[in-house]
Structure 1
Amino acid sequence: MDVRRAQESDTAAMAEVIAAVAPEGTLGVQPPVDVAARAAGFRDLLDTDGAAAWVLVDDGRVVGHATVRTRVPGVLGLSMAIARAGRGRGGGRALVDTVLEHAGATGAHKVDLEVWPDNGRAIALYAGAGFVVEGLRDRHYRRADGTLRSSLIMARRTD
């Protein structure tokens, strides 16, 4: 698997990854996913100052991606999704490492993210890359079924 900078031609495949992962309940995005609208959002992100995206490619196919946006000066917010076909082979760590290199190269002093507290696999990935829990958003997100979900706020300093 390889990580490379996302291009406009990758945005539909990035949206398809979101559509594939959303039913698992590990993302903030809920099904049904409007793939065309999500792809347009990724195209917009690629044209946004302070934002960047990378794709995880396996045998020529996009199986995951990571994006960052400037939350406040010096802090990048990380979002990631990896389809089942791309998991368990180091691709997630490669994406995180790429984001951390980008943060250092652009002068960001911190990368943060949110993750569901029951997403142990993602929490382990982030903790293994040096992220620590900074807080909890208790019962913060209302889901389509009316339930409220909490999220952990994790971050890593890069300076």
Structure 2
Amino acid sequence: MASSAETVAALAPSPRFRIRSLREGDLPRVLEIERECFSTPWKEVTFRGLMKRSDTDLLVAETEEGWLAGYAACWTVIDQSELGNVAVSPAARGAGMGGALVDAVVERIKERGSHECYLEVRESNREAQSLYGQRGFIVVGRRPRYYSLPTEDALVMRLRVGDLS
């Protein structure tokens, strides 16, 4: 059986970028991406806490030139996972990195034995909803006023990993 790193590396659909595990030295750039993409970005302490957890997968999308263009954060508890964040720098969007990151997360949570994965997405973020929907996520709920700056509802989406072929 291939290692997690080999599995993740094999998922990159293009020679222009690859998906790999986050390394300590990636954190400054990941924090930049976080600020580029979110009105209430996660803090460095949040990422450092996630990096210490054995149930968490932090993945990055890296170009051939070594530029980090995106990342994903996911954690699994027993047989249930949560996709906490997926972010791609606005300058790198449209190259398939977001989809490749989600695909890599799904492969990783399968390896961990997860049966389902949940996420929250802004109700107005149709692009992300479409990306998740193309991968089998469905809307299963709503969290009123979940987001701030601006205040907005979150749609809760779920992927039943066992339903994937």
User: Shorter-normalised TM-score: what interval?
Assistant: 0.7 to 0.9
Distance 1:63 1:2 in 2: 10
Note the C-alpha offset of 1:47: 1.2
The code of the aligned residue for 1:55 comes to V
Distance in structure 2 (CA, Å) of the matches to 1:56 and 1:116: 22
Aligned partner of residue 19 in structure 2, secondary structure? strand
Unaligned runs of 5+ in 1: 24-28
**Separation of aligned partners in 2, 1:49 and 1:2:** 23
> Could you tell me how far apart the structure 2 residues matched to 1:137 and 1:17 are?
25
- 1:10-29, aligned counterparts within 5 Å? 10-23=26-39, 29=40
Pair 1:138-2:144 in alignment: yes
Counterparts of 1:52-131 in structure 2, within 5 Å, are 52-58=57-63, 59-70=65-76, 72-78=77-83, 79-131=85-137
**C-alpha offsets along residues 31-90 of structure 1, whole Å, 9 cap, x if unaligned?**
xx7xxxx233222211112111000112211111000123x4311111111111221111
TM-score if structure 1 supplies the norm length?
0.83
The DSSP-based 3-state class of the residue aligned with 2:55 is: coil
What letter is aligned with 2:124? Answer: D
Aligned equivalents of 2:151, 2:91: Cα separation in 1: 29
* CA distance in structure 1 between the aligned counterparts of 2:74 and 2:125, rounded to whole angstroms: 20
Identity over aligned pairs, percent: 31
Q: Deviations over 1:65-124 (max 9, x none)?
A: 000123x43111111111112211111111011000001101011111100011011011
1:151 counterpart letter in structure 2 = A
Q: CA RMSD in A?
A: 1.7
Partner of 2:18: 2
The unaligned stretches of length 5 or more in structure 2 are 1-16
Which TM-score applies when normalising by structure 2? 0.80
